[in-house]
Amino acid sequence: MTALVGDIGGTNARFALWRNQKIESVRVLPTVDYPRPEDAIRAYLQGTGQSVDALQAVCLACAGPVSGDEFAFTNNHWRLSRKAFCEDLGLSDLLLVNDFTAMALGMTRLREGELIEVCPGRSEPGAARLVIGPGTGLGVATLLPLPDGGWRALPGEGGHVCLPIGTSREAALWARLHDKFGHVNAEAILSGGGLLELYRTSCVLDGKQPSLATPAEVTAAALTGDAYASSVLEQFCVWLGRIAGDNVLTTGSRGGVYIAGGIVPRFVEFFIRSGFSQSFRDKGCMSRYFDEIPVWVVTADYPGLEGAGVALQQLLEGPSSGG
């Protein structure tokens, strides 16, 4: 079978061919460069010398809740109709999955050297695992082990839960964010744009003139010794710990936590030294619940694409084909 798999976020669309249960010919295309996903796929196929007619299946992992015929991407301008998409590309069917469903399934394909330990521990047999990752947005999914050795991913929109407050400083930041946005969700801070928002809001709170203009500048300044930028990045890590811990309590993910997405791998050493671990387990009477839960940062290049391939394979063969 020759299939096309895609992992489409707010900023980039990643495409690959899925053959013999492996991804090939990976390309990354900016979503802003194309009016529709169909146009990006045609450009990808042309660039890899493939014909649309050669495709036997397509699976797209998309940021946002997936249901029905129409799909609107959460963090970019694309919209998609399954029926129109198939008619345009001459396909019989299109498999759409949530992007973090694919990311979760991608965890079943990780290779040696693609995980960095943040919190040591021991995976509880048969327990769920949490997959969470800041990127253009904040993705969250749960990975469930099956009795036959396969895996099932449970999609969700955990990035849109309420941002928790654990200190008076966080309460003050939250109040500023609430004045600006109304509802303050986790993604408002735990994303690329959220890091910049956290920096700007912190500056307003502290009466400081902002001098950094992008998330990359905030991160770079923090890593090169800027004390204020470091404090902002530290708060980002602490808030990620609070949200990850809340999700573990909700889903019972004592099998472990994968920190995925494109942001945290850029500052892994800082992240390991940060207050993430403490805030992750800072749950009052339930703090001991976290004593043996391992946490890893995922450094694999294309786990979402791998997971889209696994989702397609599961559709054809059943959940036990997930790795």
CA distances from 44 to 37, 59, 210, 253 (A): 10, 15, 40, 37
69 is in an annotated binding site: no
Distance of alpha carbon 182 from alpha carbon 170, whole angstroms: 16
Distance of alpha carbon 162 from alpha carbon 84, whole angstroms: 36
Residue spans of alpha helices (H) in 133-225: 168-181, 192-206, 215-223
243 is in an annotated binding site: no
Residue 318, Ramachandran bin (φ over 0: left; ψ between -120 and 50: alpha; else beta): left
10 is in an annotated binding site: yes
8 is in an annotated binding site: yes
Distance of alpha carbon 255 from alpha carbon 276, whole angstroms: 18
7 is in an annotated binding site: yes
CB–CB of 115/297 below 8 Å?
yes
Q: Which residue has the tokens 């327990």?
A: 127
CA distances from 88 to 33, 84, 85 (A): 19, 6, 5
Distance of alpha carbon 117 from alpha carbon 277, whole angstroms: 11
Residue among 250, 256, 307 at smallest CA distance from 98: 307
Coil vs helix vs strand at 14: strand
Residue among 285, 186, 201 at smallest CA distance from 238: 186
The helix (run of H) or strand (run of E) holding residue 276 is: helix 276-281
137 is in an annotated binding site: no
The CB density around residue 267, as the number of other CB atoms within 10 Å, is 19
Binding-site members for ATP are 6-11
Binding-site members are 6-11
